[in-house]
Amino acid sequence: MKKLLVVMAAILFPAFAVAGMDNEATVENLLQSLKSKSYGSAWSSVDKLADFPREKERIVPALIEALGYEWEECTGDIRQGIAYSLAELKAKEGVFPLLALLKRGADTSHGCAECGCCFNAISIGDVFEERNLDPFCENGVLKAIDQLADFSHSKAIADLISEGKHRTELLITLGKVGLPRYAHFISRYRNDNNAEVRRGVAIALGLIDNEEVSVPVLTGYLSRPGEEFLVRWDASDSLIKIGNRRNTPGLRMRMMDLLEKQDDTAGGLAGRVLARLGDERGLGKLRELARRGDREAILYLGEAGDTGARELLVGKLKEENLAVRAFAMFSLGRIGDASIIPLMKEAYDDSVKVTKTLAMKRKQGESEQDLAARYGYPHGNLEILQATLYEAIDSIVKRHGPPPPSTGNPIDQKGKAR
C-alpha cells in the first residue's frame, strides 16, 4: 500500500507542479496585458484575473495600482472591471483606493459597454419588482465598495457624502456598515432636494441599527403628501425591515396613526407595513382601500398573502378599469388556487372586448386623459394584462398544481393564445 501511495504521489506531484507553473505564467501574462494602453488587452486581462484566487497576493496590488492608469478609450469601463475583480477576490484592501478614486473624481462611468440595468416592465409583477432594482447596478466601483466595506471605512464614506459625491449609493453603504451613531449623519440628508438622495436615506435608515432615529424619519416620509412615491415606498420597506428585526411598539403606534390620515397613499403604505408585520389592522385598511379601487392596496393584499381578500379581489376582475383588473390578477396569483384561473381568463377575454370599445371612443374623439382615467392605461393595456395573467397562472400552478381542464377559452392551460 505504501509503495502504491509513493507511486501515485510521484505521478501527481509533477502534474500539480506543472499546473501551478502554468497558472503563474498565465497570471504574469495577464498582469503585463493590464499595463497595455489598448482597451481590448487591458479589459481581457481584468476580466480573467479574478479566476486565479490563489494568486491573490500578486493580483490585488496590481489591480489597485491599475486604478490609476489611463487607457486610450473606455477607462471608466476598465476601472469598473477592476472593481468587480477586487470584489470577486474579496480584497478589502481595495476599498480605500476605490474611495480615493471617487474622491478625485476619476472616470468610473460606462463609455463602451452596456450597463445592463435596463428593465422593461411587461407585467404587474415586473412593475412591482422594478421598484427594488439594485441601486449599484450602473457603477461597479460603487458596487464593489458596498460589497467589501466594513465599519472601518465609515468615516471615509461619510466624508465623500459630505462632499456631495455619489450620495445615494454611499448613504446606503454607510447604513449597511456604519455604527448606530451614523443614523444621525444619514438623517441630515432627509430633506435633500434630490429625490434619489432621499431614497438613499430611506433605504439606509432601514439597514442601520438605530430605530430611535430611523423610525421618526421614515414615518415622516410616509406622512409627507408631496413626497415622491418611490421615497415613500422605500421608507415603508425600511420600516418593515426594522419591525422584523425586533418588536418595536412605537413603530406600530405610528403606523396606526397614519391609517387615519386622509392621504390614501400614506394610509395604504402604513397598512402595508402593518400587514407585512402580521397585524390584522393593516389588512383591514388595505381591504377598505381596495374596495374603493385603490390599485396599490390591491397589490399589497397579494404581497401580504391575504387569503381573506380572495372574494374582494375576484370582484375586482370585473372592474371597467383594466389596470384594476391587472392588479387583482397579480394578487390572486399570489393567494388564489386553481379554481381562480377560469375567472381570470374570463376577465382577460372581457378585457379584449373593452379595448375594442376604447378604440371606438378614441375614434370618436374622446381625450386620452379621460380614457386613461376610465380604463387604467398604461397599466391596463392588453400586453401587460396578458403577461400578468400568465404570471398569475404560473404562480398558482407552482403552488397548487395544474388548472382544471380547458373549456374552450381563447387562452389555453399553457397560457398561450389560440
pLDDT, tens digit, 9 for 90 and up, residues 362-375: 888 888 888 888 88
| Residue 346 lies inside a defined structural domain of this protein | yes
What CA–CA distance (Å, rounded) separates 275 from 271? Answer: 6
More confident site: 120 or 398: 398
Q: Tell me which of 48, 80, 111 is where a domain ends.
A: 111
pTM: 0.87
More confident site: 4 or 164: 164
What CA–CA distance (Å, rounded) separates 175 from 383? Answer: 39
Specify the number of domains making up the chain: 2
| Residue 286 lies inside a defined structural domain of this protein | no
| Residue 384 lies inside a defined structural domain of this protein | yes
Q: Which of 126-130, 174-178, 394-398 has the lowest mean pLDDT?
A: 126-130
| Residue 6 lies inside a defined structural domain of this protein | no
Question: Nearest CA to 219 among 252, 189, 260, 192?
Answer: 252
Q: Tell me which of 111, 143, 168 is where a domain ends.
A: 111
Tell me the H-state helices in 164-294: 167-177, 182-187, 195-207, 211-223, 229-245, 249-259, 264-276, 280-291
Q: Tell me which of 45, 79, 111 is where a domain ends.
A: 111
* Cis status, amide bond into 342, omega within 30 of 0: no
| Residue 47 lies inside a defined structural domain of this protein | yes
Domain of residue 384 covers 318-418
| Residue 361 lies inside a defined structural domain of this protein | yes
Question: Nearest CA to 199 among 230, 239, 165, 160?
Answer: 230
| Residue 133 lies inside a defined structural domain of this protein | no
What CA–CA distance (Å, rounded) separates 19 from 284? Answer: 65
Decide if 200 contacts 169 (C-beta within 8 A). yes
Return the pLDDT at 72. Answer: 82
More confident site: 105 or 9: 105
Return the pLDDT at 261. Answer: 83
| Residue 37 lies inside a defined structural domain of this protein | yes
